[in-house]
Amino acid sequence: MTTSDFAKRYGPWALIAGASAEIGAEFAQQLAELGINLVLVARCRERMEELARQLESTHGIQVMSIEADLSQPDFMSVLEPATRSVDIGLLINNAGFGTAGGFLAHDLEREVAMLHVNCRAPLILSHVYGKRLERRGKGGIIFASSVSAYVAMPFETNYAAYKIYELFLAEALRYELAAVGIDVMALCPGIADTEFHVISGNQAVGAMPVPPLVELALGQ
Residue 67 CA, distance from chain mean position: 15
CA–CA separation, 94 and 142 (whole Å): 8
pLDDT for the residue 197: 47
Instruction: Give the model's pLDDT for residue 100.
Output: 86
pLDDT at 151: 84
- Under-70 pLDDT residues of the chain: 192-207, 220
Residue 207: which of 220, 194, 217 has the closest Cα? Answer: 194
Q: Quick one: pLDDT at residue 206?
A: 58
73-88 as b/e: b if 16+ CB within 10 A: eebbeebeeebeeeeb
Q: Which residues are catalytic?
A: 159, 163
CA-based R_g, the chain, Å = 17
Q: Which residues sit opposite 140 in a β-bridge?
A: 90, 183
The pLDDT, as a whole number, for residue 203 is 55
d(CA 148, CA 159): 8
Residue 3: per-residue pLDDT: 85
174 forms bridges with which residues in the sheet? none
Per-residue model confidence as pLDDT tens digits over 25-50: 999 999 999 999 999 999 989 999 99
pLDDT, residue 200, reads 44
pLDDT at 98: 86
Neighbours of 60 (CB within 10 A): 9
Surface-to-core class of residue 142, CB atoms within 10 Å of its CB (0-12 exposed, 13-18 middle, 19+ buried): buried
* Model confidence pLDDT, tens digit, residues 71-101: 999 999 999 999 999 999 999 999 998 888 9
